[in-house]
Amino acid sequence: MTGRLRIAVHKFASCDGCQIQFLNLEQDLLTLASRAEIAHFTEASSVTQPGPYDVSFVEGSISTSADLQRIREIRAASRLLITIGACATAGGLQALRNWKDHDEFVRAIYARPEYIDSLARSTPVSEHVKVDAELWGCPIDQRQLKRVLSDLLARVAPRIPGESVCLECKRAGHVCVLVAKGEPCLGPVTRTGCGALCPRYERDCYGCFGPQEDGNTLALGRRFRELGLSDEDVVRRLRFINGWAPAFRAGAQAWEK
Amino acid sequence: MSSERRIEVPVLTRVEGEGALHVHIDGTRVADLRLNIFEPPRFFEKFLEGRSWKEIPDMVARICGICPVAYQMSAVHAIETAFGARITPAIRRLRRLYYCGEWMESHSLHIHLLAAPDFLGYSDAMALAQDQPGIVRRGLRLQGLGNAILGMMGGRSVHPVGARVGGFYRAPDQAEAAALLARLRAAAQDAEDLVRWTADLKLPAVARQAPFVSLRHESDYPMNEGAIVSSEGLNISAAEFDAHMVEHQVPHSTALHALINGKPYWVGPLARVNNNLDHLPPRTLRLAEGTGIHWPSTNPYHSIVARALEIHFALHEAVAILEQYTPPDKPFVEIIPRAGVGAWCTEAPRGILWQRYEMDDGGLVKKSRIVPPTSQNQAQMEADLRASVEENLCLHDDELRARLEAGIRNYDPCISCSTHFLNLTLKRT
Ligand code: SF4
Ligand code: SF4
């Protein structure tokens, strides 16, 4: 491959926060624009170029029938496809609909449900097409994003760490909110990337970076029960921003009566 | 008929979220104009049901990546109202500081990365930066300062983790506050220059009549508190909001349209400035008067100047709060859940954001409603665009399309948030 790296950023069902992490790169955004070709990024530019792209970053979950078609087209037009954020990687907070009666939701919100194109489930991109790398987080972390971008610019495969928030938190020397405060912290089962932000802010992690590679959600659930949480509390804890991620999904189900 | 024209903007760019515009012109008449929002619905209000008060600030933040603080602030105040909890003056000041960060970040991002390229003839800020690097870098510096305030209060600017019902999990220490204060003071000139620069842009001269709706506080420029007022005499509390503002569904949009007593209305920075000129601190007011604009202004394009004025205001407000700052003993008040209903409205960067919660005695949400600013502005935006088409029939299609796109962006529509609302009361006729 020759010439500048052609980058695209695509949006599906999301809050736009992961794209905002690009726009909040501040001066580094200008550097990126000078080193790569930002070929398609509708939130940032009126000029949009058709594929093929070297890398497509995808934000948002798949939640309408039109989405299903578009994600296949994007896959076909992209050499690498990288999901950004909890929505694209695990279905996002909106995947909470996956446990509910979707049609009832639509009827409750819209007087004319027939105008609304919405699938029963909100699902991650990887349920539909091949994904080359996943950047977790709600939102993605800018340091991780920058590392991935420099890997890509250097034409090496991006590497994304999979250890737990808990390890990072201990290294940073924060007071453990689970032990010291008895708060139901998800740090032991959550993937690192945020810099152990919540413990630094003296509160419990709520799992916004999704499951770490080999966390034991069952053991942590038992620990939460000892802290006085009810079964329903434990279910809600895991069934949250990354609730549809398999490890959290299974963890929550174990406590559901 | 040969005079029939169609203008299509299939994908709106430089806006948050996904939308499109369709215009059908028949001779000199706009036969049809639709601002089409196809942001997939995410049903937030439904899945807030059954969730604990502790989870709500982290959940509603995810409605919008560019104004998570606004969602958190309306939610915490509404839930505190339902529980009968009262925050301390120290927490009130910290919440104001937190909001200053979001206004600075969101407004700077909009002015430089989304709107300014329109008025200067560029496709995006990256291209603008090649010719006028100083302008874009100044904007990014101010945006960065907004991010720094949010970073101090909540660790990050998108979905910060520090806010809770009752206050904050952690208060900044003295050293952090002092470091930030120094950075803010050093940017005072940037903020002043920015106002003058926006006022010198070649902005279209138009006038639109619609009620301006904003909060109004007894003494301060409004952020977290105040009555909901309009330039036409409305003056209500947040609890009365849904008696006056009615949402209804239109076929071409997943966002519901809101009307005030059956008419479009207008929220956002221009409405705030117009309704609260006398509450701007003297130095911001002097700058406003120095722009040569006759305030209150009915020109929607003056929104960019209003945003710059609010950046200036927020910067000095943050400085004033930090100058007086000593860490509070405890950054939150204890929360005792009880059954109740609470409604609240705060000023998101894009205008008033209303939320209402019905809580049970265990502190779980029974019912919630959220009405974001973009849904409130939609009807007004369409009315404005119709007028723009009629005024600009002589333009070629490409120019007209560009003009309309700029007109939409000028409202800073946040389409990702504009969609997840519910429980409209629809009158079938
Ligand atoms: S992952 Fe979180 S921050 Fe990113 S788009 Fe989804 S909701 Fe927004
Ligand atoms: S500590 Fe947990 S919830 Fe907090 S930012 Fe990190 S991953 Fe997200």
By the CB < 8 Å criterion, does B239 face chain A?
A: no
Nearest to B128 by CA among A41, A30, A32, A27: A30
- pLDDT for B3: 67
Ligand closest to the CA atom of residue A140: 1
Q: Is B76 helix (H, G, I), strand (E, B) or coil?
A: helix
pLDDT band at B426 (very low <50, low <70, confident <90, very high): very low
Q: Is the CB of A58 under 6 A from ligand 1?
A: no
pLDDT in tens, B200-256: 999 999 999 889 999 999 999 999 999 999 999 999 999 999 888 877 766 666 666
As beta bridge partners, residue B258 has B247
pLDDT, residue B374, reads 81
Number of other residues whose CB lies within 10 A of the CB of residue B205: 8
Query: Cβ A97–B47 below 8 Å, yes or no?
Result: yes
**Contacts for B233 with CB less than 8 Å, ≥ 6 apart:** none
pTM, two decimal places: 0.93
Query: What is the Cα–Cα distance from A147 to B425, expressed in whole angstroms?
Result: 49
A61 backbone dihedrals φ, ψ, rounded to 5°: -95, 165
Q: How far is the CA of A141 from the centre of ligand 2 (A)?
A: 10
For chains A and B, count residue pairs whose Cβ atoms are closer than 8 Å: 185
B109 CB within 8 Å of a chain A CB: yes
**Regarding the domain with residue range B47-241+267-371, which homologous superfamily does it belong to in the CATH classification?**
Cytochrome-c3 Hydrogenase, chain B (1.10.645.10)
Contacts of A49 (CB under 8 A, 6+ apart): A6, A37, A39, A40
CA angle A102, A104, A107 (to 5 degrees): 115
Chain-chain contact of B46 with A241 (C-beta, under 8 angstroms): no
**Is B126 in contact with A39 (CB distance < 8 Å)?**
no
Query: Mean pLDDT in chain B?
Result: 89
Percent of chain B with pLDDT over 70: 89
Residue whose CB lies within 8 A of the most ligand 1 atoms, among A18, A141, A241, for a mutation test: A18
The encoded tokens of residue B355 equal 């939320």
What mean pLDDT comes out for the span A140-157? 94
A69, two tokens: 């078609």
How high is the ipTM of this complex?
Answer: 0.94
Contacts of B47 in chain A (CB under 8 A): 93-94, 96-97, 100
Cβ neighbours around A133 below 10 Å, total: 19
Q: Which two tokens mark B87?
A: 């925050």
A237 to chain B, closest Cα gap in Å: 9
- Pick from A3-17, B157-171, B286-300: least confident: A3-17
For the Cβ of A234 lying below 6 angstroms from any atom of ligand 2, the answer is no
With cut-offs at 50, 70 and 90, classify the pLDDT of residue B429: very low
The answer to whether the beta carbons of residues B259 and B216 sit under 8 Å apart is: no
| DSSP tally for chain A: helices H, then strands E | 12, 5
Q: How does DSSP classify residue A193?
A: -
Q: In this structure, what token pair is assigned to residue B222? A: 């409004």
Q: Which CATH number fits domain A5-153: 3.40.50.1110, 3.40.50.300, 3.40.50.700, 3.40.50.2300?
A: 3.40.50.700
Question: What six digits make up the tokens of B283?
Answer: 């130095």
> In chain A, what are the domain boundaries?
5-153, 165-255
What are the residue boundaries of the structural domains of chain B, listed by start? 47-241+267-371
pLDDT digits (tens, 9 = 90+) for A47-93: 889 989 999 999 999 988 889 999 999 999 999 999 999 999 999 99
Least confident of B36-40, B119-123, B294-298, B327-331: B36-40
- Token pair 């029963």 in the structure block, residue: A120
Q: Which residue of A has its CA nearest to B162?
A: A201
Q: At a CB cut-off of 8 Å and minimum separation 6, what does A113 contact?
A: A103, A106, A107
Mean pLDDT (whole number) for A200-217: 94
Identify the band that residue B422 occupies on the pLDDT scale cut at 50, 70 and 90: very low
CA atoms within 13 A on the CB side of B100: 27
As a whole number of angstroms, the distance between CA B28 and CA B31 comes to: 9
Q: Return the residue in B12, B46, B102, B427 with the most chain A beta carbons within 10 A, the one to mutate for interface testing.
A: B46
